[in-house]
């Protein structure tokens, strides 16, 4: 089943985020290689695709996990959690409706 992982950053998270980013992206790359990642990315703190020093307010990951518990375990092990980037992390089941797949 798909799960949406909504994370909210602590204030002034950009330096912590940048330091932990390579390890964070490596984990997402593994999910993608396994065919389990639907989408992932940060939420800019301002209305801009390049927020610069304004940084980011959080992240969203939508991926396939066998259960909510396994999605939680995966999220808890995120390098951004260990680095203190995230203030909160919420996980909810997600049903993809669009875009529809052919076939």
CA distances from 10 to 39, 69, 87, 100 (A): 22, 24, 5, 35
**Average pLDDT value for residue range 27-52:** 97
Helices in the chain by DSSP H: which ranges?
14-33, 68-76, 79-82
Render pLDDT for 58-88 as a digit per residue (tens, 0 to 9): 999 999 999 999 999 999 999 999 999 999 9
Please check the confidence at residue 102 and state whether its pLDDT lies above 80: no
Render pLDDT for 19-34 as a digit per residue (tens, 0 to 9): 999 999 999 999 999 9
pTM tops 0.85? yes
What pLDDT, on the 0 to 100 scale, is given for residue 103? 58
69 φ/ψ angles, rounded to the nearest 5 degrees: -60, -40
């Amino acid at each position: 089943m798909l799960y949406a992982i909504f994370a909210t950053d602590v204030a002034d998270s950009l330096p912590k985020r940048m330091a932990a980013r390579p390890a964070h992206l490596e984990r997402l790359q593994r999910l993608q290689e396994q065919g389990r990642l639907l989408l992932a990315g940060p939420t800019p703190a301002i209305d801009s695709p390049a927020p610069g020093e304004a940084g980011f307010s959080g992240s969203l990951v939508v991926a396939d996990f066998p259960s909510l518990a396994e999605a939680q375990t995966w999220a808890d092990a995120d390098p951004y959690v260990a680095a203190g980037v995230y203030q909160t992390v919420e996980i909810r089941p997600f049903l993809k409706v669009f875009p529809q797949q052919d076939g």
